[in-house]
Amino acid sequence: MARAKKSTAKKKTTTEKSAKAKTKTKTPARTTRGAAKPAAKQTNAKPAKRAVVKRRAATESLVEDDMVLGSVTAPSGRLAIFDVGLVGYLPRAALEPAMIVASVPADRPLPVVGRRLGQGRFAKCWDCIAIALGDGKVASSTKLGEAGVDFARLIAIDHEALDHWRHEDSLDGLADFVFWGRDAGHLARAVRAPAAPEGHGWANLPLAEAEARADQAGRLKAQNHWLLATDFRPHSHHFHALAAARKDPHGVGAIDVAGARAVLFFTSWGDGVFPVYLDADAAGRPVQLRVQLATPESVSAMLAVNR
């Protein structure tokens, strides 16, 4: 593939994993390796399993189903790739080892290009997503590390811009509060909540009012043993990036942070561990940073969930 073209708050009652369910992508439960292996003498492999083996090599040129999904900028010359959902749970010092940080051109936007798997049961899932660094055909690949994902999303962002990232604090003094699930109707009637795209709730409330509604909902949920999920969402950087990704048909959202353009994307495979490669041409010049999302492990995990 060449270049071609919530927030989490103290009062939150559910993790970001509830929000990612709205991306039309099922998040697989963690499974042990080999959970979806066929019987030893089986000769007809499942299409999705076969798709990983037969996926197009990273050295192939741009084809029709590759898509330019946006662009990132890294004025510092260093780009970080990691699960941004972890920012709400890990201090920066603990988060740094989880990041894949690479040197990239600082003087121009870098296209973000995606390639679907294209065949089998999970044809619409991503094979890989790459940040284009230069022209040329890929001749070699160097593994930079593995991105561990616990919230079904990754972000590519300028490393220095992270110093300005506001993960939980509202940028405009507003917040959303939404809830959904089996007993959401009972809570909606009790608190007179309007319908919302994800179930019920309110958008663009003053922060204090949104917090009060979240507290009230939490009390009623506990008292009545209602089964439902709630999400308190201050309008932070994380909120805006997620909102953009949820609206995008490809699950990709862009946001500007401290003068740098960042891109958040849903893996389409849910959680897992995804290798990141630096692909270079025959002369050793960088061509792209590639996040390999379709792997034997990610396919096996998805098969286990979708049996």
Domain residue extents for the chain: 43-162+245-305, 174-234
What is the per-residue pLDDT across 68-107, written as a single tens digit (0 to 9) for each? Answer: 999 999 999 999 999 999 999 999 999 999 999 999 999 9
Half-sphere exposure of 207 (CA within 13 A, CB side): 12
Q: Which two tokens stand for residue 226?
A: 């209602």
- In the prediction, which pLDDT does 234 show? 97
Q: Which of 184, 194, 197, 195 is nearest to 229 (CA)?
A: 184
Amino acid residing at 269: W
- In the prediction, which pLDDT does 241 show? 97
Residue 135 class from Cβ within 10 Å (0-12 exposed, 13-18 middle, 19+ buried)? exposed
Contact 277, 27 (CB under 8 A): no
3 state DSSP class of 121:
coil
What is the per-residue pLDDT across 269-303, written as a single tens digit (0 to 9) for each? Answer: 999 999 999 999 999 999 999 999 999 999 999 98
Query: Per DSSP, which regions of the chain are E strands?
Result: 66-72, 78-82, 100-103, 110-116, 126-132, 140-149, 153-158, 174-180, 195-196, 199-206, 229-234, 252-257, 260-266, 272-280, 286-292
> CA-to-CA distance for 177 and 211, rounded, in angstroms?
8
Which residues have C-beta within 8 Å of that of residue 261, sequence separation ≥ 6? Answer: 70, 71, 72, 73, 109, 254, 255
- In the prediction, which pLDDT does 235 show? 98
Q: What is the pLDDT along the chain (307 residues), one digit of tens a residue?
A: 544 444 433 334 433 444 443 433 333 333 333 333 333 334 444 433 333 334 445 444 343 458 999 999 999 999 999 999 999 999 999 999 999 999 999 999 999 999 999 888 999 999 999 999 999 899 999 999 999 999 999 999 999 999 999 999 999 999 999 999 999 999 999 999 999 998 999 999 999 999 999 999 999 999 999 999 999 999 999 999 999 999 999 999 999 999 999 999 999 999 999 999 999 999 999 999 999 999 999 999 998 887 7
- In the prediction, which pLDDT does 66 show? 83
> CA-to-CA distance for 18 and 7, rounded, in angstroms?
12
The residue behind tokens 């970080």 is 80
Contact 190, 149 (CB under 8 A): no
- In the prediction, which pLDDT does 21 show? 39
Q: What is the pTM of this model?
A: 0.77
Contact 76, 159 (CB under 8 A): yes
